[in-house]
Amino acid sequence: MMVDQPELELAFPPRPEYVRMARHTVAALARLYEFDDDSVENLKLAVSEACTNAVTVNAESGAEPVRVLAGVADGWLTIDILDAGPGVSPSLMDQQPQFDSNEFTFEKGLSLPLIRGLVDELAVLPRQPHGSVVRMRLAHTAGEKQSS
């Protein structure tokens, strides 16, 4: 279950230098549909967070490419970021971030609450045979194009 009609499909090696490319490419799609500037900036940060996690887990689990699918339908921009890691516990969706002196990782629940605050809908779905799909959705509100 992924983006039904992707207008954008990316696959890139699990290396941090590719995250910027994914972020800007998804932002360009949002701009094509005239999403306002604040929404585009929030989307860029959310995509960066999710892609950074996917890069980390894919690099640790055999270097499978990170995949990004995105499309606009029925007034929603949907972005799926696919990783090949062990999966993310759905319990992290409702968990408060855990800040400690070690590292701030996706698994500690820091990124999911951040992403949830940046997009209208967030889901973490299992991927077969392994891995996760981080699905982010952003509603398009017609007529609210922001002027600079």
Give counts: helices (H), strands (E), the chain.
Answer: 3, 5
Specify the higher pLDDT residue, 84 or 31. Answer: 31
Is 0.95 topped by the overall pTM? no
User: Across the chain, what does the average pLDDT equal?
Assistant: 82
What is the per-residue pLDDT across 95-144, written as a single tens digit (0 to 9) for each?
544 444 344 444 545 788 889 899 999 998 888 878 889 999 999 875 44
Give me the domains of the chain, ranges plus CATH numbers. 8-139 (3.30.565.10)
Cβ–Cβ under 8 Å, residues 135 and 122: yes
Residue 97 confidence (pLDDT): 46
Q: Which residues contact 104 (CB under 8 A, 6 or more apart)?
A: 110
